[in-house]
């Protein structure tokens, strides 16, 4: 560690060593009338969104900068947050933007203790205008969300928290529901950009940015892949200029039932015979292109410890996930989804992966092998690396059809 890094980290620690300032009153209000009172941190003010929870015990910086969390107030089940501060290397959004609408935690660390920390979590949240609430019983809150599902919510701190609860509840209820929201273009790049291959270039991949995490093109780059990242809903005719060997559709926020443009583009890609790989939102896009419907999960899958079975190999991976919608089971309600086959306009397809917690569809593929997708994050930032070989599977597919 060089002297500059050490000095920066020590400054961050000294600034956040104790919570000496007077606590700022804050309140979390759920649309069903449930109220949790605590103390504000980060920006003081008001934020609205859908209350969801994540079970990850680490990686709050990666979570907060993941564009898939756009319009969501994230509740951390891990009881202490902020102990590793905030660094300049782990952001998952292009431009280092925090995308969560708000953050709900139990305990805020009194001290930053990580050699890479450049500042504290509250400092970064205040800088980017993110409202947080601490000091609430997150166990009770998470149990409530598990029982009743993800729900519209608002965090109000400072003077906003002193308003009558009836007024705050009305404001929370007035916000649009996550179901039916098309959010991909909100988080997508405005202009195409290229992430160069490391070492010898093997292939060119066009990646549709539905809310892409920086770790994804970095994983491609390490494998000799040049990635051209394009805006969501870029027509297929427009990506031909890059002569791609493969097309990738990323993770992202919003309701996949609204993504008709991207579904039509994906159908054009499949008809062209270009190898296709999708993750998370990209899995739902491929599924819809193959004729499946989507639905909203009760409380979603968000964390870095979700078990998934690969029905092609029998292998079980522990995966990182963040999704509130899923593909319907083509076998029908009440029947096992794993391995279920179904007909498409592009040949027979099947369900390749399912979640072992609830049998939710976690992956689909054409039996020809030309297109496949998974509902989780093989780049796993933060999270386990069990699913990382999916990048190699895509490269092998491109190699076989170059």
Which residues are annotated as catalytic?
A: 280, 377, 379
Instruction: Report phi then psi at 155, rounded to 5.
Output: -110, 130
| Range 190-193 contact pairs with CB under 8 angstroms and sequence separation of 24 or more | 190/231, 191/231, 192/228, 192/229, 192/230, 192/231, 192/234, 193/94, 193/228, 193/229
d(CA 346, CA 368): 9
| Lookup result for tokens 């993770």 | 251
Q: Is 128 annotated as a binding residue?
A: no
Q: Is 281 annotated as a binding residue?
A: yes
Secondary structure (3-state) at 213: coil
The stretches of 243-346 forming alpha helices (DSSP H) are 260-272, 281-289
d(CA 77, CA 265): 38
Q: Which residues contact 288 (CB under 8 A, 6 or more apart)?
A: 256, 257, 259, 263, 266, 294, 327
Q: Is 246 annotated as a binding residue?
A: no
Q: Is 368 annotated as a binding residue?
A: no
Closest CA to 165 of 38, 34, 42, 24: 34
Q: Is 321 annotated as a binding residue?
A: no
d(CA 387, CA 214): 17
Q: Is 87 annotated as a binding residue?
A: no
Name the token pair of 375: 């509902």
Please state the length of the chain: 402
Q: Is 68 annotated as a binding residue?
A: yes
Q: Is 325 annotated as a binding residue?
A: yes
**Residues annotated in a binding site:** 68, 252, 254, 281, 284, 322, 324-325
> Residues at the annotated binding site for L-glutamine?
68, 252, 254, 281, 284, 322, 324-325
């Amino acid at each position: 560690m060089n002297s500059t890094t050490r000095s920066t980290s020590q400054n961050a620690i000294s600034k956040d060593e104790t919570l000496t300032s007077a606590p700022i009153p804050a309140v979390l209000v759920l649309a069903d009338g449930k109220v949790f009172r605590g103390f504000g941190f980060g920006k003081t003010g008001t934020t609205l969104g859908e209350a969801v929870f994540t079970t990850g015990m680490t990686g709050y910086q990666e979570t907060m900068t993941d564009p898939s969390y756009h319009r969501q107030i994230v509740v951390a089940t891990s009881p202490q947050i902020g102990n590793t501060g905030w660094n300049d290397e782990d952001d998952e959004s292009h431009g280092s933007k925090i995308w969560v609408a708000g953050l709900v935690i139990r305990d805020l660390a009194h001290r930053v203790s990580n050699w890479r920390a450049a500042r504290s979590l509250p400092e970064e949240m205040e800088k980017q205008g993110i409202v947080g609430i601490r000091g609430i019983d997150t166990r009770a809150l998470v149990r409530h969300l598990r029982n009743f599902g993800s729900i519209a919510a608002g965090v109000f701190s400072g003077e906003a928290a002193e308003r009558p609860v009836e007024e705050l509840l009305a404001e929370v209820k007035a916000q649009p529901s996550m179901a039916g929201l098309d959010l991909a273009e909100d988080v997508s790049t405005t202009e195409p950009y290229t992430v160069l291959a490391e070492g010898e270039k093997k292939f060119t991949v066009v990646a549709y940015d539905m809310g892409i995490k920086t770790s994804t093109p970095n994983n491609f780059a390490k494998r000799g892949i040049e990635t051209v990242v394009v805006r969501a809903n870029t027509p297929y005719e427009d990506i031909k200029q890059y002569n791609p060997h493969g097309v990738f559709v990323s993770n992202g926020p919003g309701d996949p039932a609204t993504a008709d443009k991207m579904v039509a583009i994906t159908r054009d890609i499949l008809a062209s015979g270009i190898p296709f790989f999708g993750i998370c939102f990209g899995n739902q896009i491929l599924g819809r292109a193959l004729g499946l419907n989507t639905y909203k999960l009760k409380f979603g899958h968000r964390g870095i410890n979700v078990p998934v079975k690969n029905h092609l190999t029998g292998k079980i991976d522990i995966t990182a996930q963040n999704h509130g919608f899923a593909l319907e089971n083509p076998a029908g309600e009440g029947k096992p989804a794993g391995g279920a086959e179904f007909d498409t306009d592009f040949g027979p397809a099947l369900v390749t992966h399912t979640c072992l917690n609830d049998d939710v569809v976690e992956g689909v593929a054409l039996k020809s092998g030309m297109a496949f997708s998974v509902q989780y994050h093989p780049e796993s930032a933060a999270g386990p690396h069990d699913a990382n070989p999916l990048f190699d599977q895509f490269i092998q597919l491109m190699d076989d059809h170059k």
